[in-house]
Amino acid sequence: MKKLHFVSDKTFKANAYKKNALKKYKNYSPYNADIIVVIGGDGFMLQTLKKFQKYKKPFYGINRGSFGFLMNKFKKNNLQNIIKSKVVTILPLQMHAIAKNNIKKNVIAINEVSLLRQSKQTASLQIFNKKKIIIKKLVCDGILVSTPAGSTAYNSSVNGPVLSLNSRKIVVTPISPFRPRKLKYKILPTSSIIKIINLNIKKRPISVVADNVEVRNIKSVKITINKNIKFKLLYDRNSSLEKKISVEKFKNKVSSWH
């Protein structure tokens, strides 16, 4: 059996599972463990991935939350089969944000980076890929940039496409675009450097959220793939992340942004 470190959310179901597991298994330190077992839902998994990223260990999620897209389905024998699980490697987004008064924030996002209007006024944005202008002026409720792993989450709910894990792509999806009104998403290679500028900081303030980290009153945001950080997720052989994405991809067919 592998050496395990258990981390659980504060919910009753998550704590109960951890308590029962610790009756059978030793809880090694994250430094000495072979695998970090995450008990909870998707939100807790995202927090844990970032918190324990420095140990460079694989993560095995057990769903004791709601949807649990990033997690394995809860079973009584989860831990017995953990040694047979398959590894999936995902790369996060790197967000560099500059806010009002030139306050800077630099964080990673595993699912997506979303820019949202902060007041009753719509956002007015200009979007670049490297030095090329993609959209000169986008009037909208917001925009998001998503990884393949995150493409089934918020991105999917605003009619963005579901990307395969091995696609080597990211997707930029507008949220309720007003001008251009019929603007859809744009799929870009992972080598892209997305820069989004707020064209009217005073009248049309916006915030940016990288997974669960928010920065308000944004002037500009730069988003890239961070190839130096690799998260390894473990999945039961009959329930891989790729299979989950394939199911969502089949459910979510929309037209592309040309």
Active site amino acids: 42
Residue 123: closest CA among 212, 221, 213: 221
- What is the DSSP-derived secondary structure letter of residue 239? S
d(CA 63, CA 70): 8
d(CA 77, CA 181): 51
Q: Are the C-beta atoms of 207 and 83 separated by less than 8 Å?
A: no
Q: If residue 117 lies in a helix (H) or strand (E), which one and from where to where? A: strand 112-117
Neighbours of 22 (CB within 10 A): 13
Please, is 215 exposed, middle or buried when counting C-beta atoms within 10 Å of its C-beta (0-12, 13-18, 19+)? buried
Q: Are the C-beta atoms of 61 and 71 separated by less than 8 Å?
A: yes
